[in-house]
């Protein structure tokens, strides 16, 4: 098992989003994203049941663990804790909308369950490997509130309009520039980022990005990942 990187060293945050699997197995796609240089992989399954997400997460986790890639579970805090994922990602409505104000006050309802491969399970009692919490933000006021809440990382977006989240209004590069100047913890630009607009996102100050459809729709997922990664690492 390889240790996962600290968030500050994570640059490419990829997704296994079931909306784009098109019949591919989640763990196969996770493998390709790892091969492409993802530092973090989020499991995002908006239409799946908790049981289905649990099965997918258990299939993906050995893949990410062997690659030293952090697994992030979208929306499902207790599931993330139960399987020993590295992080859980929550939206504004999941966190503030549910009445939480501090990450430290989130409930920890379940102890980590043994996985089929216990050697792959991190020690969640170790403060270095406790569950990290990422929060989505869509503007400076939300970012300030998420920082005050103790988030471990922020999502900054959607930068551009995107079919992955069609109802969300783009925040534009203006918010990316604001984040570059004002957010002191790791933050990831997200939303509509492609190899064609990546230079503009980097020029606005982003050094970490989330990419969903541009990776999952690529003819060669791993090759596309390497292209994003090389460009990210090349940014000064």
Binding residues vs Mg ion (CB under 5 A): 75, 91, 94
42 binds, among Mg ion, ligand TZP, none (CB under 5 to 8 A by kind): none
Q: Could you say whether residue 92 binds ligand TZP (CB under 6 A)?
A: no
Other C-beta atoms closer than 10 Å to the C-beta of 33 total 29
- Closest by CA to 130, choosing from 77, 198, 188, is 77
CA-CA distance, 37 to 72, in Å (whole number)? 16
CA-CA distance, 108 to 160, in Å (whole number)? 35
- Check residue 15 and give left, alpha or beta (phi > 0: left; psi -120 to 50: alpha): beta
75 binds, among ligand TZP, Mg ion, none (CB under 5 to 8 A by kind): Mg ion
Residue among 121 and 227 whose Cβ is closer to ligand TZP: 227
192 binds, among Mg ion, ligand TZP, none (CB under 5 to 8 A by kind): ligand TZP
Q: Could you say whether residue 69 binds ligand TZP (CB under 6 A)?
A: no
- Closest by CA to 133, choosing from 171, 175, 95, is 95
Q: Could you say whether residue 16 binds ligand TZP (CB under 6 A)?
A: no
Q: Could you say whether residue 18 binds ligand TZP (CB under 6 A)?
A: no
- Residues of this chain that interact with ligand TZP (CB under 6 A) are 136, 157-158, 162, 164-165, 168, 190-193, 211-214
């Amino acid at each position: 098992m390889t240790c996962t990187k600290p968030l500050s060293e994570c640059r490419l945050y990829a997704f296994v989003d079931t909306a784009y699997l098109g019949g591919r197995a989640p763990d196969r796609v996770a493998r390709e994203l790892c091969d492409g240089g993802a530092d973090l992989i989020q499991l995002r399954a908006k239409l799946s049941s908790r049981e289905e997400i649990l099965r997918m997460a258990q299939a993906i986790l050995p893949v990410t663990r062997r690659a030293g890639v952090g697994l992030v579970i979208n929306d499902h805090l207790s599931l993330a804790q139960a399987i020993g994922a590295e992080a859980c990602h929550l939206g504004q409505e999941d966190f503030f909308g549910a009445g939480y104000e501090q990450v430290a006050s989130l409930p920890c309802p379940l102890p980590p369950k043994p996985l089929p491969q216990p050697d792959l399970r991190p020690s969640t009692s170790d403060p270095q490997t406790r569950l990290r919490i990422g929060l989505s933000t869509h503007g400076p006021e939300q970012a300030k509130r998420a920082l005050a809440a103790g988030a471990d990382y922020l999502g900054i977006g959607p930068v551009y309009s995107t079919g992955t989240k069609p109802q969300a209004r783009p925040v534009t590069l203006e918010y990316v520039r604001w984040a570059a100047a004002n957010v002191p913890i790791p933050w990831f630009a997200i939303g509509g980022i492609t190899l064609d607009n990546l230079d503009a996102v980097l020029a606005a100050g982003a050094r970490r990005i989330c990419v969903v459809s541009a990776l999952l729709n690529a003819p060669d997922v791993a090759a596309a990942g390497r292209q994003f990664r090389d460009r990210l690492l090349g940014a000064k």
